[in-house]
A and B are shown apart, each in its own frame.
Chain A
Amino acid sequence: MKRELGFSDALMMGLSGSIGFEIFVLMDYAYFGLAGSSMVLSLLLGGLINLLIMFSYCELSAAIPKVGGEYTYTKAAYGGLVAFVSGCLRWLASVFGASLAALVFTRQLSYLFLRVSPIVQSFISAQAPLIAIAVIVILTALDVKGSRKVGPMIVITFLALFAIFLASGLWHGLTPPDVVPRPLPEGLSGVFAATAYMFPMFFGMRALVAGAAQIKSAEKNIPRAIILSALLIMPLYFSVAYVAVGVVPLGDFDEPLLNLAAENILPGAGGILFAIAGMVASLSALGTSIAVQSSIARGMSRDGYLPKILLSVHRRYGTPYIATIAGSVFIIFLSAVGYVEFLGYAASFGSILVFALVNLSLLKLRKTRPYLKRAFKAPLYPFTPVAGVIMSAVLLVSPIFFGDVNAISALMSGLGLMAMVLLTYYLRMVGRYRVQVALGGISLVMGVLTALLTYLIEIGFVPIILSPVSLYILIFFSVVSILAGLLNVTAGAPKIF
Chain B
Amino acid sequence: MRITIKGVRKVFAAAVGVAQSTMGMLAVIAAYILHSDPFGLRAWLYVNTGFPIPLYVLVLIVFGFFSITSGLFLITENEESP
Contacts and interface: CB of A to CB of B under 8 A. Distances in A.
B20 A480 contact: yes
A118 B28 CA distance: 33
Interface in A89-131: 127, 129-130
Interface in A338-395: 338
Contacts of A483: 16
A422 B5 CA distance: 38
Contacts of B38: 127, 129-130
Interface of B: 5-6, 9, 12-13, 16-17, 19-20, 23, 28, 32, 36, 38, 63, 66-67, 69-71, 73-74, 76-77, 79-80
B6 A497 contact: yes
B36 A485 contact: no
A480 B16 contact: yes
A256 B71 CA distance: 43
B32 A336 contact: yes
B76 A484 contact: no
Contacts of A130: 38
A268 to B, nearest CB: 35
Q: Is the interface of A mostly helix, strand, loop or mixed?
A: helix
Given A435-B73, A477-B23, 19 more contacts: A130-B38, A336-B32, A337-B36, A338-B36, A432-B73, A439-B73, A446-B66, A480-B16, A480-B19, A480-B20, A484-B16, A487-B9, A487-B13, A487-B16, A487-B17, A488-B70, A491-B77, A497-B5, A497-B9
A397 interface: no
Contacts of B16: 480, 483-484, 487
A179 interface: no
Given A129-B38, A439-B66, A497-B6, A488 B74 contact: yes
A443 interface: yes
Contact of A443 (B9, B12, B66): B66
